[in-house]
Structure 1
Amino acid sequence: MQTYIYSALSGVMALIFAYYLANGISKQSDGNERMKEISGYIHQGAMAFLNREYKYLTIFIIIVAAIISIFINYQSAICFICGAVFSILAGYFGMRVATKANVKTAEGARHGQSQALKIAFSGGAVMGMCVVGLGLLGLSVLFIVFNGNTIYLTGFGLGASSIALFARVGGGIYTKAADVGADLVGKVEAGIPEDDPRNPAVIADNVGDNVGDVAGMGADLFESYVGSIISAITLGVLVYSDGRGVVYPMLLSGVGIIASIIGALVARSSKDSSPQRALNSGTYIGGIIVIISAAMLSYIIFGDFKTFIAIAIGLVVGILIGKITEIYTSADYESVKTVSKQSKTGPATTIISGLAVGMKSTVWPIVLIVVGILVSYYAMGGAKNANMGLYGIALSAVGMLSITGLTVAVDAYGPIADNAGGIAEMSHLPHTVREITDKLDSVGNTTAAIGKGFAIGSAALTALALFASYAQAVKLTTIDLLNPATLVGILIGAMLPFLFGALTMESVGKAANEMVEEVRRQFKEIPGLMEGKNNPDYARCVEISTASALKEMILPGVLAIVIPLAVGILLGAEALGGLIGGSVATGVLVAILMANSGGAWDNAKKYIESGEHGGKGSYSHKAAVVGDTVGDPFKDTSGPSMNILIKLMTIVSLVFAPIILKFGGILLNLIK
């Protein structure tokens, strides 16, 4: 029991550190009155969206909790509510601080890059520490309350996954509707700069950066983090009857929080002239601490280094996937430079080259994930004991996500820096300020892509580990590919990421179309707007994004829960196993393709804006803006939602396994 108390205290430590960072940010200057006014618009818009979204989700939480309580048990329902509420709290706290840190980052940039980086990273770190703190604290307390019964904790994972999907889809639709509207009308048609205060969609665009990449990404990695721990302790109970299989991942997750705190302190105090190196320094130090601790704990608890190998390979694979993502999405490397060069011949070649980059970028992450699976499985003795090998895969996911506090911090820093640039532009601050925020923002685009790569890699490993727990729950030892029901399940599962991607892309298209028409209307009807003599109606654009996002997020979220249940009940447990396998295979590939194509298009545009291949306003720049616009829903809506989709469907299957085991295969039984 002491182990879980220590884990809970680690969670509390993360929350205390988050409070310390938030308190430090609050003491920084907000700048002049114009900066405060614009920051107020962004903060109010972001919090209003979250409040309305959470009202919708409260209804969903109550309905699903009632279903779980009736058909499964009330303990799992309690855990489901806790998982959903803790995910909401992490998003709320992180968003609140991020939308206060943006204006302080802009003001900090007036005093130099180091000060701006420190504030922006601290704002992101609040989100990161809330994610890991609330995640580990919630799991530890529930484990103690339910006396170590791990089966109930799957409800906590389901609650986290459900909120993550709605937050990612809703936030992604919001941000990209505003972004596409602002870019197509403002930059392409009107020819005004990005973040120009004359653009009616500019506030909605800045709000969207927060609801998509702060609250959305936070919820995404919150459910990855708790999902990996749940899968590890669920399998740990099976392979170690003395409790060691549970103690190890819980203690290591606590160590990961301490490592993340140390890494965050290193990153925010770095004086390196390169923001990328400053952020990397914290990540690498955090990773080294986890690897050393994993080796020590492995030897102390098990007397060997098998579990250490599984943890280490997961962490190394995660860091390497991040580096590969950087290679394909950073302007420092050839892929992005090639896309920007192709833009000289128009939008079509921009799109073609960006898609090619995304497709090529799937190869090495998949190779690394495969290596991670094989090494962790066989290092734990999977050849002799399959459950032990599957426990190794679960540990590799825990290792990959052990420094989630840092991963989220580095990711959430990006939209804060982006917002700071927008505030600097709209407040007419000196050009040197915008140069600093643009540099931080450019790094932020890369760190965001790295965060997405981390999330995708962890999703694959976590889904496999949760699938192993599902197989145990429904007494499934093998999956027969010659069984027609299994083949049907595989095909349905392989199709779902494409259906899900289509629905979310269409949602962005619908919302963006409404935004484009509104921005055009305001440019046409508001006298003196283009001359800067009158202000646009920012609130109307914020309302369009909010209403569209909340309406369009419902169908994809419901389908992700209903379809696996329908397949399991109609076609049986094995067909549902096929569905999970098919969705993981295609979902991971589609997620990597979309995230990296979008990242490459975005940074190709920024590379041209830096003065290459014609610079701002050139033909190549207009082509790159089109590519970036296509890439927006790729990288910020549909792509990131894939990893949540595959984990949500897997954990839905696990939670409702008793129902599927008892009633599954109704349609097949009727046919027979």
Structure 2
Amino acid sequence: MNSYVYLVPVMGLIGLLYTLWKFAWVSKQEAGTDRMKEIANYIAEGAMAFLRAEWKILTYFGIIVAILLGYMGSRNAESHWFIAVAFLIGAFFSALAGYIGMRAATKANVRTAHAARTSLSKALNVSFTGGAVMGMGVAGLAVLGLGGLFIVLIKWFAPDALSTGHEVTRAIEVLTGFSLGAESIALFARVGGGIYTKAADVGADLVGKVEAGIPEDDPRNPATIADNVGDNVGDVAGMGADLFGSYVATVLATIVLGHEVTDNAGTALNDTFNGYSPILLPMLIAGVGIIFSIIGTFFVRISDNAGISTSVVQKALNMGNWGSIILSAIASFFLVSFLLPDGDMYLRGFAFTKMNVFGSIAVGLVVGTLMSIITEYYTAMGKRPVNSIVRQSGTGHATNVIGGLAVGMESTFLPILVLAGGIYGSYAFAGLYGVAIAAAGMMSTTAMQLAIDAFGPIADNAGGIAEMSELPKEVREKTDTLDAVGNTTAATGKGFAIASAALTALALFAAYVGVINANGFKMDGINIYNANVLASLFVGGMIPFIFSSLAIRAVGEAAMAMVEEVRRQFRDIPGIMEGKGKPEYDKCVAISTEASIKKMMLPGAIAIISPLIIGFLLGPEALGGFLAGATVCGVLMGMFQNNAGGAWDNAKKSFEKGVDINGQKYFKGSDPHKASVTGDTVGDPFKDTSGPSMNILIKLMSIVSLVIAPTLASVFKEKNNSETGAAKWKTEQSIKVTASKSVTANTIHLR
């Protein structure tokens, strides 16, 4: 290994220093009137109350899993008890990533609302900077944690070993615990936060907007505080933990496969890094991605005299995004040229060169860009898909829902073709390592992607605070413009995440097969003619559906409780509709908190336990079939739900500016608008609860499989050996019997 590896945690630290700098800047901005500060304080307290309740449950979960991992690691020569410590570090960093995002968002929301009293450009600056705090914080923690822990483990287990050494294999196996901890917390945070936010949102919309006919975020609605809290715990804290886990899993998958890369003699590469160059490459790409994402944030600007237009804001965000992607692509070329050796490299018989590796990275960046463009088309206001839902709202609630479902289903067509092309292209360049490094290239600008994604919930909160503080209408117009763009960027971010998850899951699956084979159980591929494999393939395909069902049902049941509570308060609190009675916001916050904590456990348990059951019951090959089924169905379900929900949401927002249906103009409060609210309500759990959880689900199950692979191989190797021994004995007996019959027959013939 070389001293260049120390650059990885250093670049992570740079990201965290930027986070602190921008967090301090956001905190110094003016927070507005006393009423604005009071509402913002309610939101911040509610968000922290949820996180404390969630962390309490997850602490017990983390301790139990760590004990089991430590026991398993100590009993297996290919692992180590320290995998439990790596798991806890990953879990802590994942929770911390979510906390950083939530703190930044609850500071930036009220300051964005105040900035919108002056200009759209200032409001964008504050909201995007709040998002950038989260983006750089998440990426910085991921790179610092993974890079730092990798250095510690290599120095401990294999201080002078070549990259192909057995002790390096052991160190990387322990490192998988870090990713398992990150993804486990991410799943619970995303599902729990999603249940919270959508229960409040659906309850607030159904009673407030549909039944009572009052505006969104009206202070008379008791569920408004819970709704705004939900934006932070679901779309910010949950999303931060989500992308932290995704980032780590992508880099880890490439590290595991990079460890298998050799020269043509099957030995470590002849580079200046003891053969570690394919392992260092994804970590350094992630590190430079942080640097260029920081540079990209300075491109996100609009002039003070810019009109109030979603296209102006979208263009500014695209400038930052494109800038960071182009700079990262250029940097990747030089990293590949510098790190990787000349000549052919091999992974499982597939030969490739360093320029082939750069080709795979370029494919990953192109796939990520195309996924974002396609998703933006299907979810943005003014485009054909959203306009089709708007038109179908003119004939009622049912046709709106039908239109949204159709758009969501249609939206899987082009992304899947792009994804399939990306898998084929990256593999054609550099084999399985190419698929993994393509995902790493795609995720290199995660910090910028997350900054763009997180600014949306901040703008949404700012609009809520403006409404509840009764600020002038032009303030809400500016925040709604930012929020509408935020809906599109959130959808594109989810499309980007599910594409990277598919590539990462494929790389993790390849790594799983490698670990199984390295531990003595021969598995060249997955044979679907095997009954165990075929059965497991179908079971795996079912998991995303039952997971989505549980998540959506949880939202529905919690929303029912929220609706009843809001109705009760409207009915029982004197003067509430006249603005004289004070709503009991805390009771709605308590409903969402309790429901999310209780109902996040079963979906999370399914993701962790199902691979264990399939693996230890049916064997390594059957588990491979299970992962294949879950990955394909999970990717499709994720795309469908994310895009349908995003399109429904922006169809509803189209009415706020006025839309033309068959020559007649319709606005907010009209019957078609009410139909669009129904569609948006149906789409809420799609796009913010079950949909974005799909990418964590498929990666978490792959990582669980990777962690148990050495133990699984050991168990079934002994079983396989005993079965092979029995088969060998039967064969020998058969040969003896055949030989005996042959001798007897020949004797008779001679006579």
Q: Same fold (TM over 0.5)?
A: yes
User: After alignment, is 62-71 or 242-251 more displaced?
Assistant: 242-251
Counterpart residue type for residue 610 of structure 1:
K
Quick check: 1:329 aligned with 2:379?
Answer: yes
Q: CA deviation at 1:160?
A: 0.7
User: 2:112 maps to which residue?
Assistant: 105
Q: Is the 8 A contact 2:435 2:507 kept in 1?
A: yes
Distance in 2 between residues matched to 1:99 and 1:66, nearest whole Å: 35
Distance in 2 between residues matched to 1:270 and 1:171, nearest whole Å: 35
Distance in 1 between residues matched to 2:604 and 2:128, nearest whole Å: 31
Displacement over 3 Å in runs of 4+: 268-273, 664-670
User: 2:547 maps to which residue?
Assistant: 500
Note the 1:310-349 alignment, pairs <5 A: 310-349=360-399
User: 1:560 maps to which residue?
Assistant: 607
Q: CA deviation at 1:269?
A: 7.0
Distance in 2 between residues matched to 1:3 and 1:466, nearest whole Å: 26
Distance in 2 between residues matched to 1:42 and 1:432, nearest whole Å: 23
Distance in 2 between residues matched to 1:2 and 1:79, nearest whole Å: 23
Q: CA deviation at 1:238?
A: 0.5
Distance in 2 between residues matched to 1:150 and 1:514, nearest whole Å: 47
Q: Is the 8 A contact 1:101 1:123 kept in 2?
A: yes
Distance in 1 between residues matched to 2:175 and 2:122, nearest whole Å: 42
Quick check: 1:491 aligned with 2:541?
Answer: no
User: 1:471 maps to which residue?
Assistant: 513
Q: Show CA shifts across 1:526-579 (max 9, x none).
A: 000001011100000000000000000001101111111000000000110000
Quick check: 1:371 aligned with 2:421?
Answer: yes
CA RMSD of aligned residues (A): 1.5
Distance in 2 between residues matched to 1:375 and 1:167, nearest whole Å: 34
Quick check: 1:166 aligned with 2:182?
Answer: no
- State which of 467, 471, 474 in structure 2 corresponds to 1:429: 471
Quick check: 1:197 aligned with 2:234?
Answer: no
Q: CA deviation at 1:79?
A: 1.0
User: 1:461 maps to which residue?
Assistant: 503
Distance in 1 between residues matched to 2:496 and 2:89, nearest whole Å: 25
Counterpart residue type for residue 235 of structure 1:
L
Note the 1:52-451 alignment, pairs <5 A: 52-72=53-73, 73-147=80-154, 149-240=171-262, 241=268, 242-268=275-301, 274-302=312-340, 303=342, 304-380=354-430, 389-451=431-493
Q: Is the 8 A contact 1:270 1:278 kept in 2?
A: no
Distance in 2 between residues matched to 1:4 and 1:199, nearest whole Å: 54
- State which of 524, 530, 535 in structure 1 corresponds to 2:582: 535
Q: CA deviation at 1:664?
A: 4.7
Unaligned runs of 5+ in 2: 74-79, 155-167, 263-267, 269-274, 343-353, 518-522, 661-665, 728-751
Q: CA deviation at 1:609?
A: 1.8
User: Normalized against structure 2, the TM-score is what?
Assistant: 0.87
Counterpart residue type for residue 291 of structure 2:
I
Q: CA deviation at 1:465?
A: 0.5
Counterpart residue type for residue 63 of structure 1:
I
Unaligned runs of 5+ in 1: 381-388
Distance in 1 between residues matched to 2:301 and 2:429, nearest whole Å: 37
Distance in 1 between residues matched to 2:301 and 2:610, nearest whole Å: 44
Q: Is the 8 A contact 1:253 1:402 kept in 2?
A: yes
Q: Provide the secondary structure at the position in 2 that maps to 1:535.
A: coil
User: After alignment, is 469-478 or 633-642 more displaced?
Assistant: 469-478
Quick check: 1:645 aligned with 2:697?
Answer: yes
Q: Show CA shifts across 1:321-367 (max 9, x none).
A: 01110100011211101101100001110011111100110011111
User: 1:581 maps to which residue?
Assistant: 628
Q: Is the 8 A contact 1:571 1:665 kept in 2?
A: no
- State which of 678, 683, 688 in structure 2 corresponds to 1:631: 683
Q: CA deviation at 1:51?
A: 1.3
Distance in 1 between residues matched to 2:367 and 2:16, nearest whole Å: 28
Q: CA deviation at 1:4?
A: 2.1
Distance in 2 between residues matched to 1:655 and 1:199, nearest whole Å: 48
Q: 1:641 to 1:44 in 2, by over 3 A?
A: same
Distance in 2 between residues matched to 1:472 and 1:63, nearest whole Å: 28
Counterpart residue type for residue 403 of structure 1:
T
Distance in 1 between residues matched to 2:237 and 2:500, nearest whole Å: 19
Count of residues in Structure 1 that have an aligned counterpart in Structure 2:
663
- State which of 563, 569, 572 in structure 2 corresponds to 1:522: 569
Distance in 2 between residues matched to 1:663 and 1:200, nearest whole Å: 56
Distance in 1 between residues matched to 2:246 and 2:362, nearest whole Å: 18
Q: Provide the secondary structure at the position in 2 that maps to 1:474.
A: helix
Distance in 1 between residues matched to 2:488 and 2:103, nearest whole Å: 24
Q: CA deviation at 1:310?
A: 1.0
User: 2:741 maps to which residue?
Assistant: none
Quick check: 1:40 aligned with 2:41?
Answer: yes
Q: Provide the secondary structure at the position in 1 that maps to 2:182.
A: helix
Q: Show CA shifts across 1:75-101 (max 9, x none).
A: 211111111000111111110111111
Q: Is the 8 A contact 2:72 2:81 kept in 1?
A: no
Distance in 2 between residues matched to 1:369 and 1:664, nearest whole Å: 34
User: 2:733 maps to which residue?
Assistant: none
Q: Is the 8 A contact 2:508 2:703 kept in 1?
A: yes
Q: Show CA shifts across 1:255-311 (max 9, x none).
A: 111011001122157766511111110000000011111111222223442211111
User: After alignment, is 467-476 or 596-605 more displaced?
Assistant: 467-476
Q: CA deviation at 1:153?
A: 1.2
Distance in 2 between residues matched to 1:664 and 1:593, nearest whole Å: 38
Q: CA deviation at 1:151?
A: 1.8
Distance in 2 between residues matched to 1:664 and 1:277, nearest whole Å: 55
Q: CA deviation at 1:586?
A: 0.6
Q: Is the 8 A contact 1:598 1:628 kept in 2?
A: yes
Counterpart residue type for residue 116 of structure 1:
A
Q: Show CA shifts across 1:593-645 (max 9, x none).
A: 00000011100000012111411111101100000000000100011111111
User: 2:749 maps to which residue?
Assistant: none
Q: CA deviation at 1:667?
A: 11
Distance in 2 between residues matched to 1:338 and 1:106, nearest whole Å: 32
Q: Is the 8 A contact 1:573 1:665 kept in 2?
A: no
Distance in 2 between residues matched to 1:151 and 1:652, nearest whole Å: 12
Distance in 1 between residues matched to 2:713 and 2:440, nearest whole Å: 28
Counterpart residue type for residue 492 of structure 1:
V
Q: CA deviation at 1:663?
A: 2.8
Counterpart residue type for residue 195 of structure 1:
D
Distance in 2 between residues matched to 1:582 and 1:107, nearest whole Å: 49
Counterpart residue type for residue 409 of structure 1:
A
Q: Provide the secondary structure at the position in 2 that maps to 1:92.
A: helix
Q: 1:198 to 1:667 in 2, by over 3 A?
A: farther
Counterpart residue type for residue 82 of structure 1:
I
User: 1:383 maps to which residue?
Assistant: none
Q: CA deviation at 1:665?
A: 9.9
Distance in 1 between residues matched to 2:615 and 2:697, nearest whole Å: 17
Q: Is the 8 A contact 2:187 2:242 kept in 1?
A: yes
Q: Provide the secondary structure at the position in 2 that maps to 1:349.
A: helix
Counterpart residue type for residue 663 of structure 1:
V
